[in-house]
Amino acid sequence: MGIERDIVGMVKAIQKETRLGDKRAEQFWDRTTVRYLTGATYHTFQEWLNTTQSSGYVVGGAIIDDTDGTITVEAGAGFIKSSAASAIETTYFFDWPESIIVPLVDKKVNYIYVEYNAGTPRAYSTIDRTAIRLSDQFTLGRVYKDGGTLHVINAGVQLDNHVRKNHERLVAVHWVERASGGVISEPAALQLKSTAGVFYVGANEITTVGQDTSIADTFTGLYRDGAGGWTKELAQTDVNNEKYDDGDGGLEDIPPNKYSARYVYIDFDGHLFVQYGQQADKLAVIQAEEVPAPSDFLSSFAILAARVIVKDGVSPLADIASAYDTDFVFTGVSDHNDLSNLQGGQADQYYHMTEAEHTALGVGGAPSDSQFVVLALDGDLSAERVLAAGAGIGLNDGGANGNATIAISHLGLEALADPDDDMIMFWDDSAGALKWLAVPKAGGLAIDGTDLVLDFLGLEDLTDPDEDKILFWDDSAGALKWLAISTGLHIVDTDLKTKDSEIDHDSLSNFEVDEHIDHDECCVSVYLNAAQNNLVNNAWTTVEIAEEVYDTGNDFSVITYTFTALKAGKYAAHGQASFQNVIANKRYGVRLYDGFVSRITAISGNGDDTGPIVVSVNKDIILDKGETIVLQAVSSAGVDTVDLVTGLSYTFLTMRRVA
């Protein structure tokens, strides 16, 4: 009852003061206080409004195309500050009248805004958005004028129901976001572990507990039931490395030496779900697979944490890739069977001997004296054949413990007599027979052993110059000579040289350097392949990534572990460090460092978890030509015994120029 009386009394006082006029009302709000501590700088209702409320609109303000090259800004109401002197100037409720704005600047973006205007607010336009002040002006939207056509966006500072609208925007754009934890690893072959996680839906924090299926926890497997629903595999501990989801309601065998993905989700109770991939193929194809649509439950109550890849019947997992804040990393083919176009005449048959063909070579008994090669002539290896001697080819029996010989009589080949000289065999079409080719020595050609020798114009008189040389015709000497190569760009006698010094490019006219570099030539993927242990506590340490998956433009040095931009531009940068032997409740970080400042930094805590922790950064960065990037890691564990995890999926750097 006391509170109700206070509220009623305050309302009556407000009603009384406001009836006394605007001046008395202002004085009332300037002296009416909210609860405050002794010494507080601000304590009245008006000061609360000044310090917390931005300028903006609550109703009206729509930008309307008048179809004549002008626009009309609807009348509206909102809050506005009286001055641009500071962000806490006196804030007023206000209305502004409908306004027609003309002219608009053609071929430009025209920004529409409202200004306090000495107490008579109205709408204006400008082509310089940075000129719109933050206190006594606010935006309503923008208009692009293209001749007689206007393109209008109503997108100003709208204040009404702000908290709810911001929540809805966060949910619509981001749905759920990870703050820390929720990292997936493989503690034992084909088993999964997740760390405790912190996630946000809108502004709401959600925490999850860690799981470890190598100890006592389990996960639920999911695949399509063929009728629009899902089949669950409850209480699983090991990732299935033999099946994939082909969509017919059951699971299909992964073909030999093929791969398939599994998508690991964490629900908001901390449980693990593993959705089967919907393809079985080469590793590169699976790594490029789009994430399949999840079940309704997973899309509404869980977050995708990782993609793991299995190879048919093989453990451990072939690959683990985090799904947080990053695209999945694609690696080059390292398995011979993952190369494209290996097939021969039949599907899954290669230009190699299969095991069945190898076995069949020993079937059918020894060949006769007139047969010598065992072949499989079709897919039915039980119908293997031997190759018998035919026209022009015979098999001479070498006798007991002797060697059989092949006799060639086709087209009179054996009729050729010993030429008693080095000769070349050729087909004489006019005679329809094989013949010896006579080599005219006088014409500059001769046969020396198995070599065809050129001695034309003294060519063989040239001795080995013992260095790279150019062969040219010296007309004054009537002979072939070696061209001596020196520095410079003109020829004196037989020398290619400058007169006195190197040529200065700046002195040449119309001299241009083509600096074009194909985007594909600026593509680097490297990872840590050797142990890097005992990180110094609280010291940023360069990660010694020295194993290249690819480096198309020779941008990376495995000696200094440094990426150097060969061309200025925007680079998609992705770095990751995995830490082991970690200490609970500490922080670990990774950054991309250019020698002066960090371009991207990520720091993550591990809570109570002491298993491996993964920290990654992923961002587009701008680099000038010659600027460098190194991957650095830091441990704040309080000890010098934290190590980095080696391997392509754990500690790596990728750089790709995108613009």
When pLDDT is averaged across residues 440-460 and rounded to a whole number, the result is 66
Phi, psi of 567 (to 5 degrees): -150, 145
User: C-alpha angle with apex 383: 381 to 388, nearest 5 degrees?
Assistant: 115
> Which phi-psi region, left, alpha or beta, contains residue 242 (left: φ > 0; alpha: ψ -120 to 50)?
alpha
Q: The tokens of 304 are what? A: 């995708």
Q: 93 falls in which pLDDT band (50, 70, 90)?
A: very high
Specify the higher pLDDT residue, 377 or 60: 60
Residue 520 clears pLDDT 50, i.e. is over it: no
pLDDT at residue 174 above 50?
yes
Point out the least confidently predicted range of 27-31, 100-104, 106-110, 398-402: 398-402
Q: Chain-centre distance of CA 256, in angstroms?
A: 29
Q: What's residue 61's pLDDT?
A: 92
> Do residues 114 and 57 make contact, with C-beta atoms less than 8 angstroms apart?
yes
Helix H or strand E segment including 14: helix 2-19
Percent of the chain with pLDDT over 70: 73
642-644 and 109-115 as β-strands: parallel, antiparallel, unpaired?
Answer: unpaired
d(CA 292, CA 210): 25
CB of 171 closer than 8 Å to CB of 186: no
Is the full-model pTM beyond 0.85?
Answer: no
Q: Examine the pLDDT at 241 and tell me if it is beyond 50.
A: yes
pLDDT of residue 511: 40
Among 161-170, 200-209, 337-346, 401-410, name the one with the lowest average pLDDT.
Answer: 337-346
Q: For the chain, give me the number of helices (H) and strands (E)? A: 7, 49
Q: What angle do CA 429, 430, 431 make, to 5 degrees?
A: 90
Rounded distance between C-alpha atoms, residue 377 and residue 211, angstroms: 56
Tens of pLDDT, residues 557-571 = 999 999 999 999 999
Tell me which of 155 and 513 has the higher pLDDT: 155
Strand arrangement of the beta sheet that strand 495-497 belongs to: 470-474, 479-485, 495-497, 490-492
Q: How confident is the model at residue 11 (pLDDT cuts 50, 70, 90)?
A: very low
Q: Does the pLDDT at position 509 exceed 50?
A: no
CA angle 254, 258, 263 (to 5 degrees): 70
Summarize pLDDT for 607-641 with one digit per residue, the tens: 888 888 999 999 999 999 999 999 999 999 999 99
pLDDT of residue 46: 87
pLDDT of residue 540: 94
